[in-house]
Amino acid sequence: MSWQDTFNTWNEQPTLETSLKQELTTMASDNAALEDAFYQPMEFGTAGMRGVLGPGINRMNIYTVRQATEGLARFMDTLPEAVKQRGVAISFDSRHHSKDFAHESARVLGAHGIKSFVFESLRPTPELSFTVRHLHTYAGIMITASHNPKQYNGYKIYGEDGGQMPPKESDLITSYIRKADDLFAIDVADETQLLADHVETIIGDDVDQAYLAKVKEVTINQKLVDEVGKDMKLVFTPLHGTGRMLGEKALKNAGFKNFSVVKEQAVADPEFSTVKFPNPEFPEAFKMAIDLGKKEDADVLIAVDPDADRLGTAVRQPDGEYVLLTGNQIAAVLLHYILQANKDAGTLPANAAAVKSIVSSEFATKVADSFGVEMINVLTGFKYIAEQIEHFEATGEHTYMFGFEESYGYLIKPFVHDKDAIQTTVLLAEVAAYYKQQGKNLYNGLQDLFAKYGYFREKTTSEEFDGVGGSDKIAALMTKFREEAPRAFAGYDVVSTEDFDSQVESFADGTTKPITLPKANVLKYKLADGTWIAIRPSGTEPKIKFYVGTLGTSLDEANQKLDQFEDALQTFINE
């Protein structure tokens, strides 16, 4: 159908949810807004589906959530009964309609006789991953838009290993979603009856306690924490999301007593009223934490995003100001501490390995190499790190030590198979205590690592292409990079180009080499000086991302080169 026909179907639907009906009435004279809402269905990307709230097949609402869950349910209907009956764990964040979407999902599953285990109130994404493994459910659903602005929500499906569904299963589920094309004909069960029949179960504190018991294992040097952690001043903010309850408890359980929480941002608020973007990558998200940190003379500030799977940090300087560390810098500091502390304790396995995405810094690779630890590269998406963990556990080939993505996502211990900011909060506090014991801070520790391994600098930028035609513009830009392949950037020759879609690395001398990673729409250029540049369409937002990673003999040189490569990249885009 045309978007106009689809709009008319919705507009004439007698049982359409009242608030959505009111929004349609408001939109009725805005053809551009209507076309964007109805021209195509929402798509599953690297992390499920994510979009703006509102009426339409290209929006997050109870009908698109029912459709997605119907796809999962129909897929589970094809499984052996014993597997199907393991059910689905469901959690949700603090966003508008998150709780509604969680319970609508349970109703759709219940109509298929599939059990659901729904949290009593909002819980972090990493706890949902843990819950799938802890309760041995077949799948998990997390209602969240992570760090997106307030007008967004999202829907993630997790597999039985606690990682986000891998492409094969995700594609199958997507095919079933498309078959459920009448969004208003999807059966939903009565939730009161589901609860009475124990088809739906409400879960809460018992799972929290099991998760927190595992988080205690994250601490490496308890003596250090006991001696220094009790006095170290720390500020924590959950940015109006799910991280407060478990974050505070995890810090206290580890032995960190002297921390403060930004009260205004401790309130679960779908409007994110104190921040424009609830994203710990952005300095603006730290404004209130910095104000509190200055007031209390805090050593370190930690912010987690609304579903508590990403973490950012800021460190106090001698002049009392705070400096933010990048995601790649946090990863290098964490990995170095993990490997050094285990080496000192005699517990570093001979087959130790770390895992990172292909668009993350080589800084951490240098750190791993210095300890004789293998760094394994995977495609962007934490599900690929989870797949490596599964492989390690099945084969014994490696012992997992750490995994990360440049976008501020880290996993310390693999009892969770996704990014986990609660675990990372505890370990980062321990690392801060480690440097404080030496009369230093995290920033000083980073400078020590720069001096030892080289001055690495990275930057991620993006261009957004919203609305109708946005995906075509992104595709055209990727085509430009492929068909007009640049031979140099900022005067440095491209020595090889990795095209993960064709799974071929092409060298400047005309030779090629196969890429063994799965197909993905990603290009990565390796330059003569060790710099790399990558281009990748986002899997969750209508944007294309550009990554630059370089290094120099000093931080000033590295920063200067970063600016040069960024300018050269922009010039090529604009030509």
Q: Look up residue 214 and give its two tokens.
A: 């595992």
pLDDT over 90 at 150, yes or no: yes
Token readout for 523 is 């290009």
Instruction: Decide if 216 is inside a domain.
Output: no
Residue 517 pLDDT: 94
Q: Are 344 and 392 part of one and the same domain?
A: yes
**437 lies in the same domain as 492:** no
What pLDDT was estimated at residue 231? 87
- Alpha helix (H) residue ranges in 413-496: 421-437, 442-453, 470-483
The pair of three-digit structure tokens given for residue 442, joined into one six-digit string: 């995290």
Residue 343 clears pLDDT 90, i.e. is over it: yes
Specify whether 29 is located in the same domain as 110: no
The answer on 308 and 404 residing in a single domain is yes
Neighbour tally for 287: CB within 10 Å: 13
Q: Residue range 236-262: average pLDDT? A: 96
How far, in Å, CA of 38 to CA of 27, rounded? 12
> What is the structure's pLDDT at 48?
80
Positive or negative: CA dihedral 29, 35, 36, 40: positive
Q: Would residue 305 count as lying in a domain?
A: yes
408 and 267, same structural domain? yes
User: How far is the C-alpha of 294 from the C-alpha of 321, rounded, in Å?
Assistant: 8
Residue 467 has pLDDT above 80, yes or no: no
Of 42-46, 96-100, 240-244, 270-274, the one with minimum mean pLDDT is: 42-46
Same domain, 29 and 76: no
**pLDDT per position as a tens digit, 161-220:** 999 987 788 888 889 998 998 999 999 999 999 999 999 999 999 999 999 999 999 999
Cα separation, 362 vs 561, in Å, equals: 16
CB 129 within 8 A of CB 158: yes
Residue 459, pLDDT above cutoff 80: yes
Which whole number is the average pLDDT over 16-32? 94
Range among 176-180, 379-383, 522-526 with highest mean pLDDT value: 522-526
The range of the structural domain enclosing residue 482 comes to 455-574
pLDDT at 222 over 80: yes
Is 351 a residue whose pLDDT tops 90?
A: yes
Q: What is the mean pLDDT of residues 207-234?
A: 96
Instruction: Indicate whether 280 and 147 sit together in one domain.
Output: no
pLDDT confidence band for 241 (50 / 70 / 90): very high
* Span 534-551, average pLDDT: 89
Query: What is the share, in percent, of the chain residues with pLDDT greater than 70?
Result: 99
Q: Which two tokens stand for residue 162?
A: 């606690």
End of a domain among 157, 179, 210?
A: 210
Structure tokens at 498: 């990795």
d(CA 196, CA 198): 5
pTM above 0.85, yes or no: yes
Alpha carbons 271 and 268: distance in angstroms, whole number: 9
**Cβ distance 305 to 278 under 8 Å?**
yes
What sign does the dihedral 324-522-364-213 (CA atoms) show?
A: positive
- Active-site residues, by number, are 146
Per-residue pLDDT tens over the stretch 55-77 = 999 999 999 999 999 999 999 99
Question: In the listed set 404, 424, 451, which residue is the last one of a domain according to the structure?
Answer: 451
- Amino acid identity, position 23: E
Question: Residues, the chain, total?
Answer: 575
As for how many domains the chain has, the answer is 4
Two structure tokens written together for 21: 């009906």
Q: String of b and e for 225-244 (b: at least 16 CB within 10 Å)? A: beebbeebbbbbbbbbbbbb
Q: Can you state the percent helix, strand and coil of the chain, rounding each to 5?
A: 45, 20, 35
Residue 217 lies in a domain: no
Backbone CA torsion sign across 147, 422, 45, 26:
negative
Average pLDDT, stretch 544-572? Answer: 94
Residue 218 lies in a domain: no
Residues 84 and 190 occupy one common structural domain: yes
27 and 52 share a domain? no
Residue 220 within any structural domain of the chain: no
Token pair recorded at residue 165: 């569904």
Per-residue pLDDT, 47? 63
The pLDDT assigned to 401 comes to 98
| Residue 317 and residue 411 in one domain | yes
Residues 315 and 399 in one domain: yes
Confidence of residue 485 (pLDDT cuts 50, 70, 90): confident
The pairing of strands 88-92 and 200-203 is: unpaired
* 298 contacts 235 by C-beta, under 8 angstroms: yes
The tokens describing 115, both together, are 């059990």
Angle at 131 (CA atoms; ends 129, 135), nearest 5 degrees: 135
Q: In the predicted model, what is the mean pLDDT of residues 329-356?
A: 98
Structure tokens, 127: 């706890």
For residue 316, what are the contacts with CB-CB under 8 A and spacing of at least 6? Answer: 293, 297, 298, 299, 300, 322, 441
CATH number of domain containing 304: 3.40.120.10
Q: What type of residue is 424?
A: T
Rounded to whole angstroms, how far apart are CA atoms 567 and 575?
Answer: 12
pLDDT at 318 over 80: yes
CA gap 70, 309 in Å, rounded: 26
The answer as to whether 219 is a domain residue is no
Instruction: Residue 33: name the closest of 64, 9, 54 by CA.
Output: 54
Cross-strand pairs, 202: 118
- Tokens linked to 168: 């094969």
- For residue range 34-59, what is the model confidence (pLDDT) as tens digits? 999 999 998 876 568 999 999 999 99
* Whether pLDDT at 505 is above 80: yes
- Residue of 520, 535, 542 lying closest to 49 (CA atoms): 542
- Give me the mean pLDDT over the 219-238 stretch: 95
Residue 18: inside a domain, yes or no? yes
- Measured distance CA(508)–CA(506) in Å, rounded: 7
Enumerate residues 6+ apart whose C-beta is below 8 A from 38: 3, 4, 6, 7, 10, 56, 57, 58
Verify that 54 and 106 share a domain, yes or no.
Answer: yes
- On whether residue 140 sits in a domain, the answer given is yes
Residue-level pLDDT at 353 = 98
* Range 292-325 burial, b when 16+ CB lie within 10 A, else e: bbeeeebbbbbbbbbbbbbbbbbbbeeeeebebb
The DSSP letter of residue 284 is G
Q: Can you tell me the mean pLDDT for 282-286?
A: 96
